[in-house]
Structure 1
Amino acid sequence: MEEDNAGDIFKSLSGGKVDVETEAFVKLCDRSFNARLRVRGNILCVQAISEAVEPLIFILVKHQVLKAEDNHPDFPHGFVIQFKNETLTVYLKDKEERERWMVKVATASHDMAQAELDEIAHRLFAASTAENGVDHKEEKTAEGKPGSSSFEDFFLTNPCTIQHKFSITQKAGVPARLITYSETIAESKLSIALPVEFVKLYKQWTTEMIQQIESFERRCPAQDESSRQELCRLLRENSETLEQTWEFLSTYSGPSFRKSIEKRRVAFAPVPTNLHYQRFGPIGGEERHVLTAGVAAALPLRFQSGGLPKLRSSLSLHPAYTDAIFSAKRSELFEIKKMIGALSYKLENEWPNDKECDRLDKLCVDLQAGVKQVYARLRDVETGLAGVERHVDSLMDIGHAPDTLRNQLDNMDAMLVSLQTKIAVIDSLMESPSELSSFSLNTRESMIGVLDALLSLCTSLIDAQQLGRLRSLARSADTAVYVHIILRADFVFSQASTIAATAVMSRLQRGWPMNGGAWRSISSRLLIRLVRCPSSVSRTVTPLVAGSRHCVIVSLPLPQDFFDALPPALRDPAHYIRVCTSFWSLGVNHEATIGYQFGGVAAETAINQTALSDLQSYASSRSPLSAAAQEALAELQVVVRADPSRKNMLLYEWAMAAGTELDGELVVSCKSGKDRTAMGVTLEQGRLMRQASGLNATQAAEVVDALRKNGARREVCRKNIDKAAYSFSAFQMHFLPKSFRPPSGTFAHGLST
């Protein structure tokens, strides 16, 4: 120690606060005297009382503390501090005081002193930050839940908040920074409530479909009767499955999520596995939000014949007869029938008498325009129905169609030409009331004939569509696959829609993005509408589901004060939210490695290239983009072009970054939504810490390991399998990318997943 520094240190110890202080008798080498002892951190100061001896300062490093073998008459309790080259013996009067001093001196070290200084520096930094207007205290709601808001309580339940304190070592002697990091994970109330509504709607659809097929019995040709009966039988089995599912879910009283160990239970099939909402970030800094869930798949129905894509490819069915398209065309045909009825009503009740010639011309023009519109829509539907001409001919053979389709269309064309000519004649006879009166009756009869022909054509197309589906399912095996696809697709759609609805609620909670840009829907089936809660004291979200197979409308009630604060466009009852999705796939386990070896990377490559295209299309609708969003999209494009598969972790990093910068809702998913999902979420948390706190790669990796050991994701494991452990085996660990490997002691093999 420098001699001039010793005096300064002694003065600071003499005048400042110390950890322990006492009077004792000390022996050092051949000298002994009464002295006052002080300890602060790892510095021991000895100041003589009875003799003129210079103060002594000892640095407590690499020392040992032992009990003294001899005793002093006035100070019977002694202990020895052994340094490398000398020994200091201290004698105290009280035994308990000796024990206290021995513990203090034995535990004194440079690391302890540094930790104490870091804590002091953090308190000083926190105090100065608070004075500048940044408050680090937790926000509490009226119900006393830390870090939550009333709207979060409206659609989330069972929150679990964990706070972490990370001490970040600095260079050049700068005190370590203490970062307080918080993460909250909660379950979605929609996780069970929305699938219950979907199952009710699916039951209605299935019942209507059975009624349609049963009512077709009288018009069904004899050779197609077996196909009709088989389709009805299998649909009744679907109806029974849906009925049992609804009975279970409507009376369910367990946790507000589907455990991973229940992912193969049929009654839970429409419920997403492990749907959780998580927000995280340094206190006082930027927060991120992410949804986690198991894969949206009909796991209880197994995959003996493959999933939906493989099943659909194995079925030789024209796209016009697939469930959603069939429903859309059938709905359009019934809408056309309503238009024909409206035109007939208008013709019957608004046709003028002989004294109202001025109204006749306008009415004829309006009716002619309506007839042309109806006929054009019928031709569009007829063009999209495979084999419709053959099916109408079969119906004519058994007396359930007035003529062949070709003859009906030719007759319709001729009638339209004749009608147009008569309307033109009426226009020319407006100045001759006597001739106009007799001719108008003839025109009216022609108009009635045209509408009757349109109605007959529409009915023929409806029956031909039903017959075409039956004939496409002539084989019993095809019928079974078709009905199985309907049930499987319904379950998957329910899961995906529940995740999407939770994402919309999460986005509303953070503030709706008002910087323009329409949300383009990849699947036009789902529309989400925001409605005002009828009750001002409602404390939970109660969704409603309606619509048809080709267009489903999910209504999400919001608290009245929250709804009233939304932008006018979102409060409009006619406004619907279309969810734009960008689905990325990245296999990271041993199954992915085997798949790459034997199946290649074509499927995953195609998925990720499509996802990039979808993300770029969405980004193009939002202008201008921030510099960070442009950079993330550019980097993501480079990564996808270089290698969009083969466990390329840059793909995950930049896909998450691009989604964040575009104000999207991030959803991380694996089969169970528990183990690999936890690795992905904690990796994203590490990326946030690097951005927000300036950590280097090594420090960020240590933070990620700490979050995997003590963070909220282990709580998800505990809720699922009653053990706070990830389900990985030593064999699987060899195939996981390094950044996806859990720390030692946090995983086990053979756990239920």
Structure 2
Amino acid sequence: MSFIAVIKAEFSASLLQSSVSHDPSETTLICWFAAQEAFIICWKQLYVDTRVCVVVWMCFRTADDSATVGTVVVSRMKMGEIEDGEVDHFTTDMHRKCTLVYESSHGSINDKDNVPIMNAVFKNAVCKVYRFQTVDSKWMLVREQMAECTLSFSIPKQLIALYIQEDTCRIQELKDLGELSPHWDNLRKDVISRYDQIIKEYQDTLAELEKLTGPSFKPSCSKGQKYLEFIPINLHTQRMRVTCPRKTDSFYDVVTVGAPAAHSQGFKNGGLQKLLSKYESEKKSTAYQCIYYPPEQTAKAREILCVVSQLQPHISALADQLLQTAQQSSSQPLRDVLKSLEEKTEQFVHALKDELVKSALLALHAARPGYVSKSQSSAPSSPAPAAADPASPVRSDSIPHHKEYDEEEWDRVWASVAKRLNCVIALVDKLQEQDNNNQESAPSRPLADVITSHTAVWWDQLGILVQSLKECVAEVAERARRSVSFVLLQEAVCSTAQGLQLQQRRDAVFSQALAALACGFVMRLYAGLEDKGFLRQLHAVGLVAQFESLLSTYSEEIGMLEDMEVGISDLHRVSFRITEAASEEAVSLQPTVSGRRDRYTVEVPLPHHAFQTLPDELRQGKPLRVLPVLFNVGINEQQTIAERFGDISLQERINQKNFEILEGYYKSLTNTLPSECLPCFQTQTDIKELLDTLGQNVVTKKRKNVEILWLAGMICRRMNGIRFTSCKSAKDRTSMSVTLEQCSLLRDEHQLNKDYFVRALDCMRSGLLAQGEVAQWDDPEAGSVAINKPASRHFYPIALLLVSSHLLVVWLILSLVFLLAKYQ
């Protein structure tokens, strides 16, 4: 019978000291039967010395004691030091009915989660196996595996390189604006100098990260280091696999990570949400030296710049392909290329028709060196245009007009692109029409013969039209790039040094959030490669990524939550694509990031055999959408202070806003896919009912309403989503949340005996508690579970202290001393 045996003998000190012992010692043996998937614990007497372990006989039975599997005889097993990968820890307690039976720091005895595709991204796994009793007195095996993720560093390093590349391109775009008036030229030089400084800092950071070796995660003690600000804190994956009698294995995944926040920059003035709001209001007051564009218009300018930069080379390539395809013997490829060319050109023209481009061209014209002098010479008594006067503010809706600038010129320019495309279409249609007529008279005559017979005429005409189209598109694209680059120059000019600092802060927070999201997406994709319903959902509506935050709305954690809110929201700009890996080596299976700040794409490579099993939509590289949602409920003692004396409006607003996003995703999911695509659970509560309950809870005034987190997590799992759990450092509060959720899943989905719920929780949490943290979860079914009550409290009832001013002063001094000692 095929099995893997892991043996650990526990000897008394006296036995180990003697060279040979004739006294039997009770030894525990653990065996995992691959064929039966049964976990066995036996006690037999062994004759032991320091060199040899002799086992007379052993009888093995199934985990539920229902049948005898057989006997195994082991003789003369050499005793020595335990090798890496074998048992590191072993405890049994039959009276508690909840036993930690296996622990390893190098994977586990079950290799289902240690296939090469997983090992390429997830490293240094730590495994524990538990044995729990169910309500029908049978036994279940619960296996926890926590692993590091290589994406903790690889994704941020790729992002930093993209930041450097984008800012370098931005500098070149500003230089390509051409000659500007002295006022605008000085402003441009100042902006370029700022970008140079950012690029230098990012290059230094990237160089430091390239030097790092060792673990694939950033510990919480390093969260304040500047060169590690782009790296997520304690990013780990945790999988719980459950094996029950007469039931297939089930697994539950969660990604744990410290809240994405800029710890190195501090939270004295708040987080990103507050700083960005304050920055936008202050930016308007600095518009005296530039043209103020609101955030939505600058965002649109970036989008237009990105679209034009992508479509212009694509159209040029399709135009060349059209000429090459005309030589083929079939007309169908010619129609396909022409259709693609028409679609891309229409998208290009649609972007150019935006009024922002037209107004930006006019503003750029007004910033040219000769604009002011010509205006003054034509009207000496009239004041200089506002755009050229740094003392008068100008808004985008009051851009100066000049009689020498033809505002209709731009309309004629982009319209000329459509005219040239129509000429190409008309010529190809005429060619195909003639081909059809010739085929009616001579069906065997191919299109290539028709083209060959008219080479002197058709090729000259088609080549001239295609070349004219390419030149027109290139010219229009260049003018459009200059115009929107001038808009972005206004934003940079209106931005003080604080604006660029905010951009750096946002870059760092987004880097942490994206690394966590990529880790969760890869883990969920690997787990669902054989799930056709999941793959269908993936390309049809995408996935929901639910971030569970346990930050309080008190003191510095308010700033962390504000950072996290913006970082998670920015993940809307990310899409995923699945590609085929060049090989099955670990380097080829690493995800890669491409794009600009307004849109990023993460490519996830799969081995050939896995890639070929995917649906056509996924193999064709369709962009996959991931919808991030964030729910926060503070649970520690600082949250108690915030709810009694502070403000929790930030938490309430976040929960209500993200509930609406989650509800919208559910409607899209149900309108697109049948319910058969979603996973099945033992608890038959409908998702719609859970959503309604969640909607009621997010508007209910209730202290530490952790039911919001319970409901959001349940909804996420039922919709094939990706689960994330975060607190300040992804340690105490996070581990409390994850272990409680795991025990709840065992109780609700695998019939864990309710009498042993708390015992199972204690078993999973052994060694997790840390000093100084306090949290309390209220499980609606298991009752209140208190966690690590504080050793002492320094916040005494203020009403009592007000009786005497002397007592109040003493209380303040003692509290200050206590806090300083605690945080020091």
Q: TM-score, normalised by structure 2?
A: 0.59
Q: For the Cα contact (< 8 Å) 2:358–2:410, is it kept in 1?
A: no
Partner of residue 742, structure 1: 787
CA distance in 2, matches of 1:271, 1:245: 11
Q: For the Cα contact (< 8 Å) 2:272–2:506, is it kept in 1?
A: yes
Q: Which amino acid aligns with 1:742?
A: I
Q: For the Cα contact (< 8 Å) 1:528–1:578, is it kept in 2?
A: yes
Which of 505-514 and 739-748 deviates more? 739-748
Partner of residue 50, structure 2: none
Q: For the Cα contact (< 8 Å) 2:149–2:236, is it kept in 1?
A: yes
Offset at residue 256 of structure 1 (A): 0.9
CA distance in 2, matches of 1:417, 1:689: 63
Greater Rg by CA: 1
Please give the per-residue CA displacement for 1:238-281, whole angstroms capped at 9, x wherever unaligned. 21221122112212112111101111212112211111111225
Matches within 5 A, 1:54-203: 126-128=64-66, 145-148=108-111, 149-151=114-116, 152-166=118-132, 180-203=141-164
Partner of residue 707, structure 1: 764
**Is 1:303 aligned to 2:241, yes or no?**
no
Q: For the Cα contact (< 8 Å) 1:632–1:654, is it kept in 2?
A: no
Offset at residue 377 of structure 1 (A): 2.0
Which of 587-596 and 341-350 deviates more? 341-350
Q: For the Cα contact (< 8 Å) 2:233–2:730, is it kept in 1?
A: yes
CA 1:575 to 1:343, structure 2 compared with 1: closer, same or farther past 3 Å?
A: closer
CA distance in 1, matches of 2:776, 2:410: 68
**Is 1:461 aligned to 2:512, yes or no?**
no
Offset at residue 596 of structure 1 (A): 4.1
CA 1:212 to 1:561, structure 2 compared with 1: closer, same or farther past 3 Å?
A: same
CA 1:579 to 1:446, structure 2 compared with 1: closer, same or farther past 3 Å?
A: closer
State the SS of the aligned residue for 1:578: strand
Partner of residue 14, structure 1: none
**Is 1:623 aligned to 2:674, yes or no?**
yes
Q: Which amino acid aligns with 2:124?
A: N
Offset at residue 504 of structure 1 (A): 2.1
Q: Which amino acid aligns with 2:260?
A: A
Partner of residue 404, structure 1: 405
Q: Which amino acid aligns with 2:263?
A: L
Q: Which amino acid aligns with 2:575?
A: L
Find 1:288's aligned residue among 252, 263, 273. Answer: 252
Gap runs ≥5 in structure 1: 1-115, 352-361, 431-440, 715-724
CA distance in 2, matches of 1:336, 1:124: 64
Q: Which amino acid aligns with 2:366?
A: S
Find 2:184's aligned residue among 189, 213, 224. Answer: 224
Offset at residue 619 of structure 1 (A): 3.0
State the SS of the aligned residue for 1:546: strand
CA 1:344 to 1:702, structure 2 compared with 1: closer, same or farther past 3 Å?
A: closer
Q: For the Cα contact (< 8 Å) 1:231–1:479, is it kept in 2?
A: no
Q: CA RMSD in A?
A: 5.1
Please give the per-residue CA displacement for 1:292-343, whole angstroms capped at 9, x wherever unaligned. 0011222223234432222332224522564x64432112234565588689
Partner of residue 63, structure 1: none
**Is 1:383 aligned to 2:431, yes or no?**
no
- The share of aligned pairs that are identical, in percent, is 21
Q: For the Cα contact (< 8 Å) 1:187–1:257, is it kept in 2?
A: yes
Offset at residue 490 of structure 1 (A): 2.2
Please give the per-residue CA displacement for 1:426-466, whole angstroms capped at 9, x wherever unaligned. 999x9xxxxxxxxxx99x99999999887666544332322
Partner of residue 248, structure 1: 208
State the SS of the aligned residue for 2:721: coil
**Is 1:514 aligned to 2:532, yes or no?**
yes
State the SS of the aligned residue for 2:256: strand
Q: Which amino acid aligns with 1:556?
A: V
Which of 496-505 and 667-676 deviates more? 496-505
Please give the per-residue CA displacement for 1:539-561, whole angstroms capped at 9, x wherever unaligned. 88433222233322222333444
Please give the per-residue CA displacement for 1:581-626, whole angstroms capped at 9, x wherever unaligned. 2221112234434444566443322322333233333333242155
CA 1:736 to 1:598, structure 2 compared with 1: closer, same or farther past 3 Å?
A: farther
State the SS of the aligned residue for 1:726: coil
Q: Which amino acid aligns with 1:286?
A: S
**Is 1:333 aligned to 2:333, yes or no?**
no
CA distance in 1, matches of 2:789, 2:421: 84
Q: For the Cα contact (< 8 Å) 1:194–1:544, is it kept in 2?
A: yes
State the SS of the aligned residue for 2:766: helix
CA 1:130 to 1:287, structure 2 compared with 1: closer, same or farther past 3 Å?
A: farther
CA distance in 1, matches of 2:645, 2:100: 55
Find 1:581's aligned residue among 584, 605, 628. Answer: 628
Q: For the Cα contact (< 8 Å) 2:101–2:129, is it kept in 1?
A: no
Matches within 5 A, 1:626-637: 628=683, 631-637=686-692
CA distance in 1, matches of 2:119, 2:418: 65
Which of 260-269 and 505-514 deviates more? 505-514
CA distance in 2, matches of 1:296, 1:390: 41
Q: For the Cα contact (< 8 Å) 1:189–1:256, is it kept in 2?
A: yes
Find 1:726's aligned residue among 746, 770, 782. Answer: 770
State the SS of the aligned residue for 1:291: strand
Matches within 5 A, 1:205-284: 205-216=166-177, 218-284=178-244
Please give the per-residue CA displacement for 1:118-154, whole angstroms capped at 9, x wherever unaligned. xxxx9776232787xxxx999999x974234214323
Please give the per-residue CA displacement for 1:450-496, whole angstroms capped at 9, x wherever unaligned. 99887666544332322223234444xx2323322332222222222
Partner of residue 608, structure 1: 655
Partner of residue 507, structure 2: 490
CA 1:404 to 1:726, structure 2 compared with 1: closer, same or farther past 3 Å?
A: farther
CA 1:306 to 1:422, structure 2 compared with 1: closer, same or farther past 3 Å?
A: same
CA 1:129 to 1:596, structure 2 compared with 1: closer, same or farther past 3 Å?
A: farther
State the SS of the aligned residue for 1:309: helix
Matches within 5 A, 1:590-609: 590-596=637-643, 600-609=647-656
Q: Which amino acid aligns with 2:350?
A: R
Please give the per-residue CA displacement for 1:18-75, whole angstroms capped at 9, x wherever unaligned. xxxxxxxxxxxxxxxxxxxxxxxxxxxxxxxxxxxxxxxxxxxxxxxxxxxxxxxxxx
CA distance in 1, matches of 2:196, 2:139: 63
CA distance in 2, matches of 1:574, 1:568: 11
CA distance in 2, matches of 1:347, 1:693: 61
Matches within 5 A, 1:318-329: 318-320=294-296, 322=298, 325-329=300-304
Offset at residue 684 of structure 1 (A): 0.3
Find 2:593's aligned residue among 522, 545, 556. Answer: 545
Q: Which amino acid aligns with 1:290?
A: V
CA 1:583 to 1:573, structure 2 compared with 1: closer, same or farther past 3 Å?
A: same
Partner of residue 743, structure 2: 686
Partner of residue 548, structure 2: none
Partner of residue 574, structure 2: 526
CA 1:222 to 1:336, structure 2 compared with 1: closer, same or farther past 3 Å?
A: farther
Q: For the Cα contact (< 8 Å) 1:396–1:404, is it kept in 2?
A: no
State the SS of the aligned residue for 1:289: strand
CA distance in 2, matches of 1:288, 1:261: 29
State the SS of the aligned residue for 1:506: helix
CA distance in 2, matches of 1:590, 1:196: 37
Offset at residue 503 of structure 1 (A): 1.3
CA 1:594 to 1:296, structure 2 compared with 1: closer, same or farther past 3 Å?
A: same
Partner of residue 672, structure 1: 729
Partner of residue 366, structure 2: 394
Partner of residue 604, structure 2: 556
